[in-house]
Structure 1
C-alpha cells in the first residue's frame, strides 16, 4: 500500500482539497484500495475543523467530497507516509526542517517534494493559498490540484 500525505499551512483549503482530488482520481482509476491518503497542516489553528466551506463548495461542484478534518503535521508522519507533497515553499521548508531534525532515527524515509512538480498543463512554482481571495481562487487551486494529482498518479504507476 502506498501512503500519500498532502501538506499546507492550516489544512482547511489546499491540502484537504488535494486529498479529495487525489482520492477522486484513485477511485476513477480503480486504485483506491491500494493507497492511504491524508492531509495535514504545518500550523495548529484549525485542528478539528472541516475544510473551508468555499473550498468544499467548489470541490462539490466537481463531484469531489472533502470530508477530512484539519490536523497538524507530526513527526510520526515522516515514518507513516511514503510521499509528503507540499503546496508552497514555506510548507516544503517546514517539512524538510522537521525531517532534518528527525534524521538519524529509525524511519523518516518519506519522499518530500512540492506537489506542483507533477503538473503538466500548468507551469507554476506553488499552489497559491485561496483563503483571503475571491471564489475564482478556489477554482484555480482545484484546476492546479487536478493537474498535479493526475501527474502524481501517473508517476506512481497507477
Structure 2
C-alpha cells in the first residue's frame, strides 16, 4: 500500500490508523501496541490515533492474548487494547486500515465502497521482508510463533511510521 504524498490523507497533520485481524486478541493488538510505543518514543502522540479491531465477534471485550502480552512485555511494550469488532463506520473514520492477512483484507473490503479502497491494505505492505504478504496467526504456533509475529509487526510498524512521519508537521 502506497501513501502518496498528494493524497489528501497524507497532507493532514493527524493520522487515524486501525489494525485488523480476525479476533483482535493477537496480531492487531500487537500492531496497535507497537505502533503506539513507537509514536510515544518519537514524541508524535498529537499526530496519531491508533486502534485495532477484529473482523469476527469471537472475543469482544477481551484483553490481548496472554502470549501476545508476554511477548510484547519482553520487548518493553504493554498491550492495552480490548477486543472489538471492525464496523463499516470504521471505513469512514480511519485514514489507514491495515489487515494482517488476505482473509481479513477481503472481509474489510466487502464492507467498503470505492471511496474507501485507497485506505485499505495489508500490514506487510510496509515490511521490508514481506514474505507471502501476510502476518501469520500465532495462536497455535507456541512462543516462537508469537515472537515471529512480533518481529514482523515491529518491522512493518517502523516502516509505516517512517513513511508517515515525513508528512507530519512537528
TM-score using structure 1 length: 0.92
The Cα shift of 1:150 comes to 0.5
Distance 1:122 1:93 in 2: 18
Distance 1:109 1:121 in 2: 24
Distance 2:70 2:124 in 1: 23
1:82 equivalenced with 2:95 (yes/no): yes
The correspondence for 1:54, drawn from 64, 67, 74, is: 67
Query: After the TM superposition, which residues 39-50 of structure 1 pair with which residues of structure 2 at under 5 Å, given as runs?
Result: 39-50=52-63
The correspondence for 1:111, drawn from 115, 119, 132, is: 119
- 1:154 alignment counterpart: 162
- 2:7 alignment counterpart: none
The correspondence for 1:138, drawn from 127, 146, 156, is: 146
The residue matched to 1:132 in structure 2 has which SS? Answer: coil
TM-score using structure 2 length: 0.85
- 1:94 alignment counterpart: 107
- 2:3 alignment counterpart: none
Q: Contact 1:5–1:83 (CA<8 Å) still a contact in 2?
A: yes
Paired residues, what number? 153
The CA RMSD measured in Å over matched residues stands at 1.5
1:68 equivalenced with 2:81 (yes/no): yes
Distance 1:47 1:94 in 2: 17
Gaps of 5+ in 1: none
Query: After the TM superposition, which residues 13-28 of structure 1 pair with which residues of structure 2 at under 5 Å, given as runs?
Result: 13-28=26-41
Gaps of 5+ in 2: 1-13
The residue matched to 2:32 in structure 1 has which SS? Answer: helix
Distance 1:138 1:129 in 2: 8
